Structure 1
């Protein structure tokens, strides 16, 4: 400290520079920890990791410290720096470093859950503090307390150190202060951009591995979180967020390779994605439609799909309907599953359609069945405002929403809403009441119990001894979700509406999708089952996607017409086997032969050895990925051109 005092520099310079250096040390420490953890993937690229890491560290610090830097320098022109400015600077430096420290600490559990550094999801969760705080207090209390205590201790140390740095300082001359200001005005923008190229530094610049987590080691978590915040516009995609853009005509041309679709004789230029739905099944009466969207219940929790034996009820039910062995989710968020199942909307670089505005109405299951005279509903055990679901459903054909506040005296309330048993009991009562009306009903039931922190009613289920796990709480919650599902079908089978209803049971996504070692393509495998009086029980081994549920349901319920959706009718034999997947900023196209991954700045392709294994990366002959680029741009094109508008639905009829 004596050396610092003898320097007698302007107080706007030394403390800030010292704190920037301290920040870089903290970032480097955490970065080194990740390198040690994933050393086998990083060994040949240590120079690359730490060189880019320094650039990211400088960039984020230029952004976070620039305001106080400029305030302090400008205030010094008045002569002696005002005491209020010095006090502001003391606390500002401590707060900024404490925030950076907190974000790095919270990175550890975030990576363990999602497989990458904090990103858009990290920021989105902050929008819903009630749900997040409840989740943390009920399932992550130790980690939360530890993070808060360490951050508080860090702030105390940073503030004490900051106050020490500000002792006995004098200002330099105005001439030297002017020079410092000039250097600052030049250096800060350069440091902030992190590069001399035409595009500023972004997380993709440092990518060097086929492993998503390893590619996020160079950037610090403050940078990735700040970058996500700057790109939170849900209806805008920038070049740094996508492998490549494509023209609408190319996207439309390549749709025939994405899905087996019958086109109308006369294609309307305003509705170019319309497909002709010709039902495979026609009934003498209109069937009800019930879609059960199971939270996080991926294939890893279904024994016959290669997972743990914690879904005995689903295993029993599969013998009663059309079971899909190779159904794939489009993403790792609920809103991706919702848009895929309810709107046959493919994933892409845009935010989910659940979060976007559709002034003309989006073609959804609820909208189409509403046009056919059905009553439509969304039944959820939590609060429907979460992730904009309430707005999405009400704006797109749902007549009635039942949510947590509508449950009278539920037996158990968890962090994310009432228990699945309460949910299904309410749903069954609702369906019984609706079945007494003159119109059929269409309903989406969305479960919530199988969600971190996995708080469930006690003494309902017990893991079988054959299941060995280091995460019993998660697997027990999965088993409870299956238990509640079984109870629902026990109730439903006793009711009159059951024999007149098409049921779909499908997961929204898998639990804990994370690419710690490679792209986690097996984590997108999910169970799916359709139970209907008209279906002969069978097991389907084709590779299919959540986006195929909508057109398949239309066919099963005798609906015909021109519908602007991308998926394919799985009742037909000539489908295209494929799955399309979005994982953070990586887009995947998966078929029987290859898995192609497109992410900002790079493309990787793997041969498919079997449904659970990939080979080593290969280079495609001619390096032509034009079709995959079109698939990547499909969602963006449909949204921007309004090709999925409800106005495009034509010649709609049922059982004709």
Structure 2
């Protein structure tokens, strides 16, 4: 057997991987969410450099195949070596099974995983040792199983990348890493969103067929097992390529530097993107981003907050009127883009109630979401803090006892609750809100007769609102004002909801249906609330948590962060506010309308105050943006800074206040003042969190029993 034939398992799997990767890139290239056209050079870059990147990633991913193949031999089953090896494996199994192994020190599932692995290895080795006549057959099926697993993983990854792109318009990122943690919701979402049984049936059939053909081409490896010197040559070649890969993969990633984000995403390798996201889930601002001397950063921050002093944001907020302790109901709507509403140009009439309610409300027509995930929206309206690099504060270990909207309401004598139709464990909401003084009502608080419909994300919005009305009726009898934060769930894939509610059936699983049902449920909530004695004494705040999609040609496409927001109360005069503002400004503005006097640490501001300077924060988990003076400034890891001139891309038949589309053109002349202001905001926000300057000093969380769920 010639040397290249001994490499047949590697190159046959590699060819298959390259074919799948090429087809995936081609499909994503023409996918409707890929809102871009590409030049010939960009297309060549996507497919050529992408293929080279795939080659080196495959080399790294083949490490387990290499280890498996080089240990295939007959000599290790000879006496006495075979019995010695078996004795060692049995001893290792007993050691781990004893419950006193080194793996038990790490706890969790690790000891069980190691025990299962060693158990299988011991069993298979014993079979091959004691059944020499059947050794070739057993080895053949083991070899086929290994090839089958590799083929299955390649196909499964291709499907996963496709569906992830279909949802987010990017290759794997930080969200994919988070999804590994919340497997129940994610797997449930997949099961309810896609035809899983037919899909996986086809997947396994295709995997079996491909495995058959690869086995025909690669079976010679076990028919004529390479000798020791041949394995040495194979290992030498593989290890050499592996070492090159460790340098080549990050070097190729640096070539993903096009101004068109879709070019970079399509060129990239999804597995390496996943690895990067896993590595970068915690980003130290001061290590990875451009900084200023701390005193200068806070000096610049003082331009936005004239009354602060030292290196914190503490300041007195005073009103010239008597405080008004109205009830406040904050509703954050899942995945609700501005473009869904009629005034922003939508012609589908999928938000008739909110279109009507907004005209009776104080509208904020130029407001931007802080991020592109629910936890970012919750962080923004709860902590009124710019999004900091890495994971949201909601999901960090140090997420308790923060200065929050709930803390301000508690100081004023309010009952404070967080209501969520799903399991509040998801996205760490329970830990965050209970640790910041909120009582929690989630799906576990519902009795069976209170649930008419639910999916993997939780009860439908109607059920949540029915429960909220019951809770608020009980609260109203306590003669204390209440602040209730309700997070909706229905406008989320799989977009299932009760049938016969709207003219789009709930079982066809459409985005428009999810939006329209959300609107319908809100109409019913307001109809019920309007009949309650507390209604006229209540302020309703409605805002999206984030947009439905974040995919675009640039790192931070503005239209993918523009969200609707308005405040409704029978006593508030309808008005339109077109000031540029951030999601973090909404609740401080509510406090201003209620004339609250309080000691604030918020970065968010009352936009009606005369000292407010318009700006907005938008971010991913690593790109931190500031919109100001028609310029978008973006801070990225490795101390990178980009600036874009924002040019309105006017849409006909849409009023000026509701225009949301902008072309982002690289700024010809650097605006150093805006760069420094952007650094000042994000650096100071990171600093106060790191140094625990954003704690609420008067709030003592003694234990979680104090904030146990309301049952």
2:275 to 223, 226, 244: 226
- Verify: 1:426 aligned to 2:467, yes or no: yes
Distance 1:42 1:78 in 2: 58
| TM-score for both structures, normalised by structure 2 | 0.79
1:626 to 676, 700, 703: 676
- Verify: 1:252 aligned to 2:306, yes or no: no
- Shift of residue 508 of structure 1? 0.8
Equivalent residue, structure 2, for 1:160: 212
1:501 to 538, 556, 569: 538
* Cα pair distance change 1:262/1:647, threshold 3 Å: farther
Return 79-88 or 518-527, whichever deviates more: 79-88
Distance 2:509 2:190 in 1: 18
1:204-603 pair list within 5 angstroms:
205-232=254-281, 234=282, 244=290, 248-256=294-302, 260-264=304-308, 267=309, 269=311, 272-279=312-319, 281-283=321-323, 286-308=325-347, 309-358=349-398, 361-409=401-449, 410-462=451-503, 473-515=510-552, 519-532=556-569, 535-583=572-620, 585-599=622-636, 603=642
Distance 1:147 1:222 in 2: 22
Equivalent residue, structure 1, for 2:102: none
- Shift of residue 126 of structure 1? 3.5
Contact 2:635 / 2:642 at 8 angstroms: preserved in 1?
yes
Distance 2:44 2:503 in 1: 50
Structure 1 unaligned segments of length 5 or more: list them: 1-5, 464-470, 651-656
Distance 2:698 2:301 in 1: 17
* Cα pair distance change 1:445/1:595, threshold 3 Å: same
- Verify: 1:41 aligned to 2:38, yes or no: yes
- Shift of residue 528 of structure 1? 1.0
Distance 1:34 1:488 in 2: 41
* Cα pair distance change 1:245/1:453, threshold 3 Å: farther
* Cα pair distance change 1:170/1:586, threshold 3 Å: same
- Shift of residue 530 of structure 1? 1.4
Equivalent residue, structure 1, for 2:660: 612
Measured on the aligned residues, the alpha-carbon RMSD in Å equals 3.2
- Verify: 1:637 aligned to 2:687, yes or no: yes
Equivalent residue, structure 2, for 1:60: 57
Contact 1:79 / 1:171 at 8 angstroms: preserved in 2?
no
Equivalent residue, structure 2, for 1:27: 21
Distance 1:339 1:134 in 2: 25
Distance 1:481 1:457 in 2: 11
Distance 2:292 2:234 in 1: 46
Contact 1:404 / 1:418 at 8 angstroms: preserved in 2?
no
1:7 to 2, 15, 20: 2
* Cα pair distance change 1:150/1:117, threshold 3 Å: farther
Contact 1:514 / 1:520 at 8 angstroms: preserved in 2?
yes
Secondary structure of the structure 1 residue equivalent to 2:543? strand
> Which has the greater radius of gyration?
2
Contact 1:280 / 1:555 at 8 angstroms: preserved in 2?
no
* Cα pair distance change 1:343/1:79, threshold 3 Å: same
Runs of 4+ deviating beyond 6 Å: 79-86
- Shift of residue 172 of structure 1? 4.3
Return 80-89 or 432-441, whichever deviates more: 80-89
Contact 1:492 / 1:498 at 8 angstroms: preserved in 2?
yes
Contact 2:384 / 2:602 at 8 angstroms: preserved in 1?
yes
* Cα pair distance change 1:138/1:402, threshold 3 Å: closer
- Shift of residue 237 of structure 1? 6.6
Equivalent residue, structure 2, for 1:653: none
Structure 2 unaligned segments of length 5 or more: list them: 79-127, 129-134, 651-658, 701-711
Distance 1:80 1:249 in 2: 70
- Shift of residue 548 of structure 1? 0.4
- Verify: 1:127 aligned to 2:162, yes or no: no
* Cα pair distance change 1:80/1:154, threshold 3 Å: farther
| TM-score for both structures, normalised by structure 1 | 0.85
* Equivalences, count: 620
- Shift of residue 294 of structure 1? 1.2
- Shift of residue 176 of structure 1? 4.5
Secondary structure of the structure 2 residue equivalent to 1:525? coil
Contact 2:585 / 2:607 at 8 angstroms: preserved in 1?
yes
